[in-house]
């Protein structure tokens, strides 16, 4: 079985502004992964490219991420896009409506206390609290991966309705069952996404479910970086994806591209 096709060699006549629905992961996809999650920066060129795509597609562009919606708004300001945050546990639709799953706050407090106690014993790790989720990052101490994962599983012992997700240099405890695939499916049932071709771009194992959802709808899937994947296309890294997205925006605005 052949692997993903290089993204920059891909040409698809279906990629026209009135037919495409774009779903983009954030860390490792639009933005480079940094040692600390709060150290991420999005340059003005990337924000301008996203604004062009959002405008050209009539709002059919969503960020689908493990980040909280508020974090994404901070990184992309003044842009305010449709977002599925915390792997689908919270969502803002294209028309601005906020939706979220009910969370067991007592369970969340227990998990947080357990993870923070574990992090205190593992220099280089840190706990990030998000709506409905606790993430234990080990970007600054990759040698602690096994211990961090064990700590997350210990934190959820005896709890029901919680899920442990392994990501890039992070292990996350999610207090709900929503996935990125659920988020893509929900957006695709709503305007302006409904009836369009889903294009999903992501770099992490948590994006694989979203790739499968898009593929089931005949869509386009792009894996960012190395690793096994079900995606049909691959970009070497965020810079290559951004280059492709700029070219896509140019194709959506041919008059603007010609005068640039």
* Predicted local distance difference test score (pLDDT) of residue 81: 98
Tell me how far apart the alpha carbons of residues 162 and 233 are, in angstroms, rounded to a whole number.
32
* Predicted local distance difference test score (pLDDT) of residue 260: 43
Choose, from 25, 73, 207, 209, the residue flagged as catalytic: 25
Report pLDDT digits (tens) over 151-181.
999 999 988 888 898 888 899 998 887 889 9
* Predicted local distance difference test score (pLDDT) of residue 174: 86
Tell me how far apart the alpha carbons of residues 252 and 62 are, in angstroms, rounded to a whole number.
17
Question: Residue 25 catalytic?
Answer: yes
Report pLDDT digits (tens) over 213-226.
999 999 999 999 99
Handedness of CA 4, 214, 37, 30 (dihedral sign): positive
Report pLDDT digits (tens) over 227-238.
999 999 999 999
Residue 199's alpha-carbon distances to 8, 16, 157, 231, 238, in angstroms, are 15, 12, 37, 11, 16
pTM of the model: 0.85
Is the Cβ–Cβ distance between 192 and 57 less than 8 Å?
A: yes
Q: CA end-to-end span of the chain, whole Å? A: 42
Positions in the chain whose pLDDT score sits under 50: 257-260
Question: What phi and psi values does residue 138 have, to the nearest 5 degrees?
Answer: -130, 35
Helix (H, G, I), strand (E, B) or coil at 194: coil
* Predicted local distance difference test score (pLDDT) of residue 255: 57
- The closest alpha carbon to 18, from 255, 194, 201, 242, belongs to 194
H or E stretch including 78?
none
**Burial class of residue 121, CB neighbours in 10 A (0-12, 13-18, 19+):** exposed
Cβ neighbour number for residue 223 with a 10 Å cutoff: 27
Q: In the chain, what are the domains?
A: 5-101+178-259 (3.40.50.1000), 105-174 (3.30.70.1020)
Report pLDDT digits (tens) over 135-151.
999 999 999 999 999 99
58 phi-psi bin (left φ>0, alpha ψ -120 to 50, beta other):
left
């Amino acid at each position: 079985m052949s692997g993903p096709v290089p993204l920059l060699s891909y040409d698809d006549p279906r990629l026209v502004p009135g037919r495409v629905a774009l779903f983009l992961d954030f860390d490792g996809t639009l933005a480079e992964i940094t040692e600390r999650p709060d150290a991420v920066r999005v340059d003005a060129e990337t924000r301008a490219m996203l604004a062009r795509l959002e405008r050209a597609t009539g709002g059919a562009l969503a960020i689908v991420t493990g980040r909280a919606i508020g974090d994404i708004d901070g990184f992309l300001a003044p842009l305010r896009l449709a977002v599925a945050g915390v792997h689908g546990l919270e969502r803002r639709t294209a028309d601005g409506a906020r939706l979220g799953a009910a969370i067991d706050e007592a369970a969340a407090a227990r998990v947080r206390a357990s993870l923070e106690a574990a992090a205190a014993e593992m220099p280089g790790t840190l706990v990030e609290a998000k709506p409905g989720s606790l993430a234990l990052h080990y970007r600054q101490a990759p040698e602690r991966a096994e211990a961090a994962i064990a700590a997350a599983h210990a934190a959820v012992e005896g709890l029901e309705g919680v899920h442990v997700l392994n990501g890039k240099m992070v292990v996350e405890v999610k207090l709900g069952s929503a996935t990125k695939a659920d988020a893509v499916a929900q957006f695709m049932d709503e305007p302006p996404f409904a009836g369009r071709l889903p294009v999903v771009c992501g770099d992490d194992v948590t994006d694989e479910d979203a790739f499968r959802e898009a593929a089931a709808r005949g869509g386009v899937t792009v894996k960012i970086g190395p690793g096994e994947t079900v995606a049909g296309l691959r970009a070497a890294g965020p810079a290559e994806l951004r280059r492709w997205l700029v070219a896509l925006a140019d194709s959506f605005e041919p008059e603007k591209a010609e005068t640039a």
